[in-house]
Amino acid sequence: MRIVESKREVGEAFELAQLEAQTAFGNGELYVEKMLTNPRHIEFQILADENGSVIHLGERECSIQRKHQKLIEESPSPLLTAELRRTVGNMVVRAAKAIDYTNAGTIEFLVDEQANFYFLEMNTRLQVEHLVTELVTGIDIVKEQIRIAAGAPLQYKQDEVALKGHAIDCRINAEDPSRDFAPCPGTVTAYRVPGGPGVRVDSALYSGYTVPMIYDSLISKLAVWGRTRDEAIRRMKNALDEYQIEGFRTTIPLHQKILVDEHFIQGRINTGFVYNRIGSRVLDRALGSEDIAALAVALSLSRRKRKQDLAVIPQRKPAGRSRWRTFGRASLGAQDFKWSA
């Protein structure tokens, strides 16, 4: 993707984008679309069977991102009213029917400040963030996708789908936010999952598991459900505090700082939120337990080496009384000396 802000930039941007596309995908074809600055990213989950029945399961708010990849998803979106949800939901159902779509799927949009929806893409599969939709609808999307593939009809009608409560999902990645989200492969030295009402963890991690050098950075999905968005935020904060993954850096500290930001709490978010709103306050590197351990080892080795160096220094006896000691005794009383180890 190349952003073009004036006519004079078109030629160069086109050539660079075409070269990159040809190199990466073997296809240099390009298309032009409207540039939306810091929009919201909202998507609708659908289910469609072989008989032509299509329903939607409401929306997911996916605006908290880094490098155009999602970090936090929630359902329902703080932006949508019931009327707007119904309008866009009917639109995605008509779109799926128009192409005779069959499967679980997601239709994604970018949304500007005036709540205008712009079609982005359709993912013709189950998505990472499906669990927040499952938590608010009670519908097992994985199970429904398998039933659809087997030729079974949908078990639900549109008027039977209701969004109850609020769900939030944090993608826990093995990355270092303080180094532009650099990958952090390593071995899990300690692992403890959070628990409690409304908490769900989807992960294959365990103590001793090694995240390899070549991998997808997503290592866990932490989701919570609450009766309200405020309750869901509180539960997510508690769950993040309880979640222990040691051995390498993760995005847990970043999630913790986002969850307490007043703009996030108010639902005032967009795709530029992490960089524009939080900035260095989120990306500053804090000392973790592995840093403290490394520092302790370094100090121990430094102290040991210093003792070894002192042991080989030749000890010479002073010639007579020290003038410093004599002067000190003459001008200072014993009470003036303070010793420290």
- Regarding whether 194 and 131 lie in a shared domain, the answer is no
For residue 334, tell me if it sits in a domain.
Answer: no
pTM of the model: 0.78
- Final residue belonging to a domain, choices 130, 164, 198: 164
- Regarding whether 177 and 248 lie in a shared domain, the answer is yes
- Regarding whether 11 and 75 lie in a shared domain, the answer is no
Options 2, 60, 94, 125, the catalytic residue: 125
Cα dist from 287 to 8, 136, 252, 283, 294, whole Å? 46, 36, 13, 12, 10
- Final residue belonging to a domain, choices 115, 137, 164: 164
- Regarding whether 98 and 67 lie in a shared domain, the answer is yes
The tens place of each residue's pLDDT in the chain, 341 residues long, gives 889 999 999 999 999 999 999 999 999 999 888 899 889 999 999 999 999 999 999 999 999 999 889 999 999 999 999 999 999 999 999 999 999 999 999 999 999 999 999 999 999 999 999 999 999 999 999 999 999 999 999 999 999 999 999 999 999 999 999 888 999 999 999 999 999 999 999 999 999 999 998 878 999 999 999 999 999 999 999 999 999 999 999 999 999 999 999 999 999 999 999 999 887 555 554 445 555 555 566 666 667 766 666 665 555 544 555 555 544 444 444 444 344 44
- Regarding whether 212 and 195 lie in a shared domain, the answer is yes
Give the list of residues 6+ apart from residue 165 with CB closer than 8 angstroms, or none. Answer: 135, 136, 225, 226, 227, 228, 232
- Regarding whether 169 and 281 lie in a shared domain, the answer is yes
- Regarding whether 142 and 251 lie in a shared domain, the answer is no
Neighbours of 17 (CB within 10 A): 15
- Regarding whether 233 and 150 lie in a shared domain, the answer is no
- Regarding whether 170 and 159 lie in a shared domain, the answer is no
- Regarding whether 109 and 6 lie in a shared domain, the answer is no
- Regarding whether 97 and 186 lie in a shared domain, the answer is no
End-to-end Cα spacing for the chain: 61
Domain hosting residue 10, numbered range? 1-32
The CATH number of residue 265's host domain is 3.30.470.20
- The yes-or-no answer on residue 125 being catalytic is yes
Residues 16, 20, 23, 28: is their CA dihedral positive or negative? Answer: negative
Per the structure, the count of domains in the chain is 3
